[in-house]
Amino acid sequence: MTDTACPHFPFPDAYGPHGIELHPAYHWARSYGAAAPVTLATGHTGWLITRHDAALQILRDPRFSVSAAAHAEASAEMGPTPPETFGIMTTFHDAGLRSPLLDAVNARQAAHDRPRIEALANHLLDQAEARSRPVDLYQDYALPLPLGDVCRILGITLDDVPDGFADWEATSLDFTSTRQQLDDAWQHQFAWARTLLRNPPPRGLLRPFSAAALAHGGTEPDERITWATVSLITAGHMSATVLIANSLITLLTRPHLIDRLRRDPALWKPTVDELLRYTPFIHSGLPRLALEDVRLGDTTIRAGDYVVICIEGTNRDPRECPNPDTFDPTRQPPTKTVTFGHGPNTCPAAALGRLHVETALRVLLDRHPTLRLTSPPQHLPWRTTSLIRTVRRLPVHW
């Protein structure tokens, strides 16, 4: 695909009066066709997918490869992210770890773990309430809640997370970081995962991970399993962290909905459904590389072309969801989303991620009915150069 005068993607975020409205360029991309040409951060041209049916087709079609995208030159648009952190389910499958991983994060286990997640939420709020006002709900709640639960599943605690972890993670997701900064951030995360696999806790997923990583008889854990562990930690909490923070902004700018939730707790399920559809959380999208020519609606994607499924754009496709830019928890039936993927590319921890979001919101709003932002959403400190779409801090009063 040759480079032409195409809009640059990612599009600007922190747009609109609530700070998380979508840029008008998303509407242009959808009206263009099943795939719209955009200029990626690398300077190369790729195809942006914002139509729901086209996104589902790509996610079901093995001719669109995430691992090939990770190794292609265009994958620099993603950070660049080490190729080893992609295709982690293949790594776990090859190492015989797929079953224990799925057993730990499936829907049945998530439901069983609900009381533990609620207890963690209350514990974090106890700590936050002891601090001076305003409270930063991003650093003190949205981040440590899903991260702490992922730690529990691995067999460790939040106290075992290195002090620099949040900074390493932020650097590795920032597309303005230098190559040296990226390498340093990823290597810090790799070194921590390697230490965990060398000396695993007595219980949790790190135990079988370690056994598999050291099965070759050496003293250093297998690199693929180590990188997969790094990716699991980040992927296991980051989507939920961002969705919690951005969902709070969505709800706190609509206090009448919070009042309805307090009066009728049965509304929580459709409200979370709508939050997962409406609330943007990823700035870059899901990358794929076409392995052969594929017809996508009115467009032919050529072998070697780079495509990006835009989750936030796809979730607001008016062909699938009438009045998609309106937040409406009463939609019937709830709109199907690609927030956690689709088909064979569905996130195995989708139920757990949803539970993290719902629990965080319910516990917080039950405990603090007067919760409010300290400033209008568009004036919050947004991460404008990150692959994730959220704030650096979320200061609130209660």
State residue 75's pLDDT score. 47
Into how many domains does the chain fold?
1
Residue 364: inside a domain: yes
Residue 305: inside a domain: no
Residue 391: inside a domain: yes
State CA 271 to chain mean position distance. 19
State residue 175's pLDDT score. 80
Q: What are 66's two structure tokens?
A: 């995430």
Looking up residue 360, the CATH number of its domain turns out to be 1.10.630.10
State residue 77's pLDDT score. 47
Residue 193: inside a domain: yes
Residue 316: inside a domain: no
Segments of the chain scoring below 50 in pLDDT: 2-3, 14, 74-75, 77-79
Query: Are the CB atoms for 178 and 164 separated by under 8 Å?
Result: no
pTM of the model: 0.92
Sign of CA dihedral 322, 323, 324, 327: negative
Q: Which amino acid is at 90?
A: T
State residue 386's pLDDT score. 85
Strands (E), 7-44: 36-39
Secondary element (H or E) of residue 108:
helix 107-129
Residue 284: inside a domain: no
State residue 83's pLDDT score. 60
Give backbone dihedrals phi and psi of 48, rounded to 5 degrees, phi first: -100, 130
Q: Which domain holds residue 129?
A: 87-279+327-397
Give backbone dihedrals phi and psi of 49, rounded to 5 degrees, phi first: -110, 115
Give the pairing type, strands 299-301 and 135-136: unpaired
Q: Which amino acid is at 158?
A: L
Listed residue (207, 353, 51, 281) closest to 59, CA to CA: 51
The pLDDT tens digits of the residues spanning 66-107 come to 878 777 654 454 445 666 667 788 889 999 999 999 999 999
Residue 170: inside a domain: yes
State residue 305's pLDDT score. 94
Q: Which residue has the tokens 């290195």?
A: 162
State residue 22's pLDDT score. 83
State residue 5's pLDDT score. 66
State residue 48's pLDDT score. 96
Residue 45: inside a domain: no
Q: Which residue has the tokens 């991620």?
A: 353
